[in-house]
Amino acid sequence: MSKDKEIFETRKKLKREIKFKAKRLDGKGWVYGNLINMRNCQCYIFNHYFIPAVSIQSERFIEVDPETVCQLITKIGDVEIWESDTVTVMYDGIERCEDIGILHGCAMIGSIMSMYSIYTDSYKGCLESLKVVGNIHD
């Protein structure tokens, strides 16, 4: 097996996908891919796979607003849940509208007054009802 194919196969086996999204500076909506921070404080998303030994064409880097960068938290079925998403969830028989955030490296759901890890027993049974309704940067 070639080294390139081996790298690709290894990536496919990884259980956790690390992916980012952010709003493009040119106003053309969201872009998804790998986050690249430059020393000059510019922020880019690179949204193509590449072989590290090959130089990358600069047009493949899309400049984004660093204030809108969101990391993929998890997937529930085919639905991707991103940092800063606004979601609805059924909790104690009541549909609640909550925000997704990251606090000390842990994915959290809730408001400033009451945040809970999305992986705690309190929310485990509710995640099946979770629906993404937007993002705070929309």
Give the model confidence (pLDDT) of 25-37 as tens digits: 999 999 998 888 7
What is the model's pLDDT at position 86?
92
Q: For 57-106, what is each residue's pLDDT tens digit?
A: 666 788 899 999 999 988 877 888 899 999 888 877 888 888 888 777 77
User: What is the pTM (predicted TM-score) of this model?
Assistant: 0.72
**Res 3 pLDDT > 60:** no
- Domain-wise residue ranges, the chain: 3-68, 71-135
**Res 19 pLDDT > 60:** yes
Q: Residue by residue, what is the 3-state secondary structure of 21-90? A: EEEECCCCCEEEEEEEECCCCCEEEECCCCCCCCCCCHHHEEEECHHHCEEEEEEECCEEEECCEEEEEE
**Res 4 pLDDT > 60:** no
- Locate 99 and state its tokens: 């925000």
SS3 for 120?
coil
pLDDT band at residue 121 under the 50/70/90 scheme: low
